[in-house]
Amino acid sequence: MRAAGFAGIDNTEALAEGWQVTDFADAGRRSLANLVKRTGAPAVMVSFLDSDVGFIEALTPDGNSWEGLLNRETAKSYEIPLEHFPIEPAVAGALAWSAAAGLTPDEEAIRQTLTGSALFVEELSSALMIALGLPGAT
């Protein structure tokens, strides 16, 4: 991950079937693309704003990508333009990303994470990983 442009790597949790979740402090502008290129595997990244809002980016090796936003109601208080993060394209993108990754997604659960709210956005991020079908995600 360091070679891909991630910094402040703190903790990595191994999941089933070779998947992993890694905490990091910062990512460069092309870090996600670099990681996918280096590993040849799909990846999803959630960047947190004060544990209040999560910005999702996901990419597959064939270039399919999607973006989303977690904790939309809280995002309004930060004056984040919600129209830049429409829900239906994010749901469709998440489903396509998950299928390309060989996972079995739960469409309704994905929609719930993208429209739901939580005191700490990390809770929605964890729920999203489960909804995307990451094996062993909790």
Query: In this predicted structure, what is the pLDDT of residue 11?
Result: 82
Higher model confidence: residue 16 or residue 121? 121
- In which element (H, E) is residue 24 found? none
Q: Tell me, what's the pLDDT at 136?
A: 79
Distance of CA 18 to the CA centre of its chain: 17
Classify 40 as helix, strand or coil: coil
What pLDDT is recorded for position 28?
A: 81
pLDDT interval class at 88 (50, 70, 90): very high
Q: Average pLDDT, whole number, for the chain?
A: 93
**pLDDT one-digit tens code per residue, 95-111:** 999 999 999 999 999 99
| Extents of the domains making up the chain | 6-132
Is the predicted pLDDT of residue 14 greater than 90, yes or no?
no
State percent of the chain over pLDDT 70: 100
Q: At what angle do helices 121-132 and 87-100 cross, to 10 degrees?
A: 50
Q: Which helix (H) or strand (E) holds 116?
A: none
d(CA 20, CA 3): 17
Confidence of residue 24 (pLDDT cuts 50, 70, 90): confident
How high is the pLDDT of residue 4? Answer: 83
State how far the Cα of 43 lies from the Cα of 91, in Å rounded to an integer.
16
Rounded to two decimals, the pTM is: 0.90
